[in-house]
């Protein structure tokens, strides 16, 4: 089992370009798995983790309801935002500046074949990272992602999850609000969940801006430990 993960920090990159790149890597891993099954080729499947920040964009999962987007195409254009229907699970979400987005493209056969465990480990990565800032985050029963004050009128989400998996290969992933402009979340019903707020790390810390480089390093530390993996950086793909 290959527990090395090729880490690629894409910086600020268009959503559609990144989605296409995910699909390319996802297909390459699937093709290798199919070749191994058909020909007993014994080829090692690679794993990737893409980190990225997107320009303003709204994405709707395959089970999502378009009515959860509360503005027209014209209004989106006025906000310099784009919109895509995509092939992950979940409903509508927002990506934009000040948000750390991670796309693990893993062959879970290299780690464990359990999607529920996979989602819980992604949540745990964020929970442990927030704990380093003295913040107590938690899960909300029946709702993916990472939250504060679950079960109270003040429940608010700081990290959304949405994934796709085929033959135990994953794509899409998590979106962690670090310095996000929360006004964009007012243009939708986040994840289709009404009457619950969204927050960002800088808001929770009461600071103008959190250190995104520091946050990213903490996330990677916990990802590595939870998945018992090693990162290979600056690897061309």
- Residues annotated as part of the active site: 191
Per the DSSP assignment, residues forming a β-bridge with 93 are 59
- Please check if 90 is assigned to a binding site: yes
Buried-state track 39-53, b at ≥16 Cβ within 10 A, e below 16: eeeeeebbbbbbbbb
Q: Is 93 annotated as ligand-binding?
A: yes
Whether 92 and 68 have beta carbons less than 8 Å apart is answered as yes
Compute the C-alpha angle 11/60/52, nearest 5°. 10
Report whether 94 belongs to an annotated binding site.
yes
Strand stretches in the chain, DSSP E: 4-12, 48-53, 57-60, 82-85, 92-95, 99-105, 138-140, 143-148, 156-166, 169-177, 197-198, 230-233
Per the annotation, does 91 bind a ligand?
Answer: yes
* DSSP state for residue 41 in the 8-state scheme: -
**β-pair partners for 177:** 99
CA 170 to CA 25: how far, in whole Å?
10
* 118 in a known ligand binding site: no
Q: Are strands 82-85 and 57-60 parallel, antiparallel or unpaired?
A: parallel
Residue 175 annotated as lining a ligand binding site:
yes
162 is in an annotated binding site: yes
Q: 89 among the known binding-site residues?
A: yes
The answer to whether 173 is a known ligand-binding residue is yes
Residue numbers in the known binding site are: 88-95, 160-162, 173-175
Residue numbers in the known binding site for substrate are: 88-95, 160-162, 173-175
């Amino acid at each position: 089992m290959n527990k090395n993960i090729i880490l690629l920090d894409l910086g600020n990159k268009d959503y559609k370009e990144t989605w296409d790149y995910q699909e390319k890597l996802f297909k390459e891993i699937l093709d290798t798995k199919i070749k191994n099954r058909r020909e007993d080729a014994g080829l090692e499947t690679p794993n990737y983790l893409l980190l990225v920040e997107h320009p303003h964009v709204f994405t709707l999962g395959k089970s999502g309801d378009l009515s959860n987007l509360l503005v027209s195409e014209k209004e989106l254009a006025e906000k310099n935002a784009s919109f895509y229907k995509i092939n992950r699970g979940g409903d509508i979400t927002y990506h934009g500046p000040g948000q750390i987005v991670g796309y693990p493209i893993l062959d879970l056969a290299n780690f464990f074949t359990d999607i529920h465990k996979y989602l819980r480990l992604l949540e745990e990565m964020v929970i442990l990272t927030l704990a380093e800032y003295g913040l107590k985050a938690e899960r909300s029963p029946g709702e993916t992602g990472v939250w504060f004050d679950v079960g109270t009128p003040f429940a608010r989400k700081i990290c959304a999850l949405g994934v796709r998996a085929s033959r135990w290969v994953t794509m899409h992933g998590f979106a962690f609000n670090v310095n996000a402009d929360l006004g964009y979340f007012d243009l939708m019903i986040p994840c289709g969940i009404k009457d619950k707020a969204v927050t960002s790390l800088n808001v929770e810390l009461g600071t103008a801006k959190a250190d995104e480089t520091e946050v990213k390093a903490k996330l990677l530390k916990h990802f590595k430990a939870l998945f018992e993996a090693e990162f290979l950086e600056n690897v061309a793909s």
